[in-house]
Chain A
Amino acid sequence: MATPVRKLVLNSGWIAAKADAVRQTGEELTTLNVVCTDGSDVFDAEEFRPGWIAAIVPGTILNTLVNAGVFPDPFYGLNNEEIPDIAHVGRGFYTYWFCTHFALPDLFSEGDGGVLSQCTRVWLQFNGINYSADVYLNGAKLVHPNPRGMFLRRAFDVTHVANFGGENRLAVLVHPPEHPGNVDGGGQGGDHDIAKDVTAQYVEGWDWIKPIRDRNTGIWDEVAVVLTGAVTLQNPHVVTVFEGSSLAKAKLHVSVEVTNASSAACHGRLTAQVIFNSDDDGFYVV
């Protein structure tokens, strides 16, 4: 996994609201100092206004709704029967806004500027969204070439909209799978429609589990803001190939994806280092 220079994991402070209950657009939700019709601030999580609840990210919408007491825990008794199934209430019922805010240091001031300088780039990373999302930051809509798919990591270069030295507002409108299917007939996987999408299929129910009512819709894996320089590294790969049959010698074939995100040519030094994690809780460079 990547260990960037600076990383801020966004796993707290999220609030959520059902999409059709929110009057603001994504741009409006993420514009500083937006005030709602009742006079409260969208991000005033201390006093949840009607329709906004504390959200669990990473997690699913059903997870958030259970946590907020809207629905009972589906894994106790027959509680699942009390939760509306997306097949009956429609995809809009489980289409939700997720919002949070975060601060970025002023990297261009005297203090931090020496570390990251003008080359700093800011990335907004989502490790898993089921099934698709519209993402807004500080009043701008962020566009990704592959918005759909449960098992796809996505990164946005948000350098141009990031607010250094102040607050940043993030809103994510999460849409359920496009073919949530009907489970009224029971059996293995209901009507199987979920398999038309690239998503988890057990959610239509199987011989060992009742249907998951929201089909696992949500921001289900880590969200993070990552600061790097102009050149980024992704997907390191190491292949060990033994020489001969003794297993006493091995060749390490190491590769990494290198991207120059800037508009200027760049010269630099790539360094790969192997460290052995010893049994005595210490470690040393081999």
Chain B
Amino acid sequence: EDVLSEEVDLEAGENHLHAFSPMLHENPQLWWPNGLGKQPLYTLQISFEAGVSNGAPCYMESDSCSCRFGFRKIETCVDETLGGGRRFFVNGHPLFIRGGNWIVSHGMLWLSRERYQTEVGFHADANLNMIRVWGGALAERPEFYDACDERGILVWQEFWITGDCNGRGVPPSDRNWPLDHELFILCVRDTVKMLRNHPSLAFWVGGNEQVPAEDVNNKLMKELRLAG
């Protein structure tokens, strides 16, 4: 259980996504938001050992990678009986959201693991259970998410769309910004791949209080749903 080895053949220059056979895990320790329980974390380690192809089973580690994750199920829906507000359930239990707004840890991007742990810790100590990362700043760093994983803070992560591109203002902005939509999507894909395993990551939002340009939004909706 929970250890899996699979033989792989790769052509020269080949790049592909390898999906392992599903692993069944019994009685997982559940990850809970701050105030509802503990935050047990698991580590996934993956390694590739290259073998000599002439029949000799001589394996040598070529590369390895790892990520932390947690067992939790987050569900959300819009509840019209509650005025159209969004409800959240974690591991089947309803969660009353007590959220904080997050911009950036330091205006000159003087970021550190310790600073993230302290600042996220303040939120947890204040009994909050969600942080919204505003789209006018950063896709927050893995060190920020590590701190949220460890303190049970759910994260609402926005992409980089704000009042600077809502078609209003003096002079007026343009709802079609940024200019390079492909670059925006490329950055989104890379950001999602970087952060998607963190149990604290609750959901993505296209932008601040608005949706991105139509083609960008359509791609986000399609690709994020597929990823889910």
A interface residue numbers (CB < 8 A to B): 1-5, 56, 58-60, 62-63, 66, 74-75, 117, 119, 146, 148-153, 185, 187-189, 191-192, 194-202, 204, 206, 208-209, 212, 216, 218, 220-221, 228-238, 240, 242-243, 245, 247-277, 279, 283, 285-286
Contact = CB atoms under 8 A, between A and B. Distances in A.
Nearest to B208: A201
Interface stretch (B78-86, B114-122, B123-131, B191-199): B191-199
A42 B200 CA distance: 45
B24 A152 contact: no
Contacts of B14: 258-260
Contact of A266 (B50, B137, B190): B50
B23 A119 contact: no
A229 B23 contact: no
A285 B2 CA distance: 8
B96 interface: no
Contacts of B15: 257-260
A117 B62 CA distance: 10
Contacts of A275: 42-45
Contacts, number: 344
Nearest to B4: A272
Contact of B183 (A56, A58, A148): A148
B9 A265 contact: yes
A255 B186 contact: no
Contact of B164 (A194, A208, A237, A263): A194
Given A198-B180, A204-B164, A240 B69 contact: yes
B111 A58 contact: yes
B103 A254 contact: no
Contact of B46 (A148, A248, A272): A272
15 contacts: A1-B66, A201-B164, A231-B50, A236-B197, A243-B24, A251-B22, A252-B23, A256-B18, A260-B10, A260-B11, A268-B7, A270-B20, A273-B2, A276-B29, A285-B2
A74 B108 CA distance: 9
Contact of A234 (B50, B65, B109, B135): B65
A185 B170 contact: yes
B35 to A, nearest CB: 18
Contacts of B43: 274-277, 283
A268 B62 contact: yes
Given A192-B164, A201-B164, A218-B109, A268 B179 contact: no
Contact of B171 (A188, A191, A245): A191
Contacts of A185: 170
Nearest to B14: A260
A1 B45 CA distance: 10
Contacts of A249: 24-27
Contacts of A255: 17-20
B8 to A, nearest CB: 5
A263 B136 contact: no
Interface residues on B, range: 35 or more
Contact of A200 (B2, B48, B138, B177): B138
A46 to B, nearest CB: 25
Contacts of A58: 109, 111
A5 B4 CA distance: 20
Contacts of A221: 111, 141
Given A66-B108, A200-B138, A271-B4, A3 B164 contact: no
B99 interface: no
A189 B64 contact: no
Contacts of B13: 260-263
A270 B186 contact: no
B8 A202 contact: no
B201 to A, nearest CB: 12
B108 A247 contact: no
A267 B53 CA distance: 6
Given A148-B180, A195-B165, A200 B137 contact: yes
B67 interface: yes
Residue among B43, B109, B142 facing the most chain A CB atoms (10 A cut-off): B109
A59 B108 contact: yes
A192 B97 CA distance: 32
A3 B64 contact: yes
Contacts of A220: 109, 111
